[in-house]
Amino acid sequence: MGKKTENQPEASETRESRFKRIAAKRTNDIIHKLRLLGNCSNRSSYDYDEQQISKIFSTIERELKEAKARFTYGRNKKEFKL
């Protein structure tokens, strides 16, 4: 039998419990990656300028806002009409 992956639901798992399990894992993965990114701030190991830092964090902030909006507004699937 193969290894269980994140997206394989357990037989009696509810949609809510599946959401909690997957969302918690993905949130912890993101937190871990952000901490790794923070390690790049070590000036004795890396050289960077403010423009690079601004580009990194503006991109992260934009993606975060888009992900949050999907929970609030859902996906806009409406077609444009005049």
Asked if the structure places residue 79 within a domain, the reply is no
pTM reported for the whole predicted model: 0.73
Contact in structure between 18 and 9 (CB atoms under 8 Å)? yes
Domain residue limits at 36: 15-40+48-73
Distance of alpha carbon 29 from alpha carbon 22, whole angstroms: 11
Q: What is the pLDDT of residues 42-76, one digit of tens each?
A: 999 999 999 999 999 999 999 999 999 999 886 66
Asked if the structure places residue 31 within a domain, the reply is yes
Q: What is the pLDDT of residues 1-21, one digit of tens each?
A: 556 666 666 778 999 999 999
Asked if the structure places residue 28 within a domain, the reply is yes
> Could you give the number of structural domains in the chain?
1
Q: What is the pLDDT of residues 20-47, one digit of tens each?
A: 999 999 999 999 999 999 999 999 999 9
Asked if the structure places residue 32 within a domain, the reply is yes
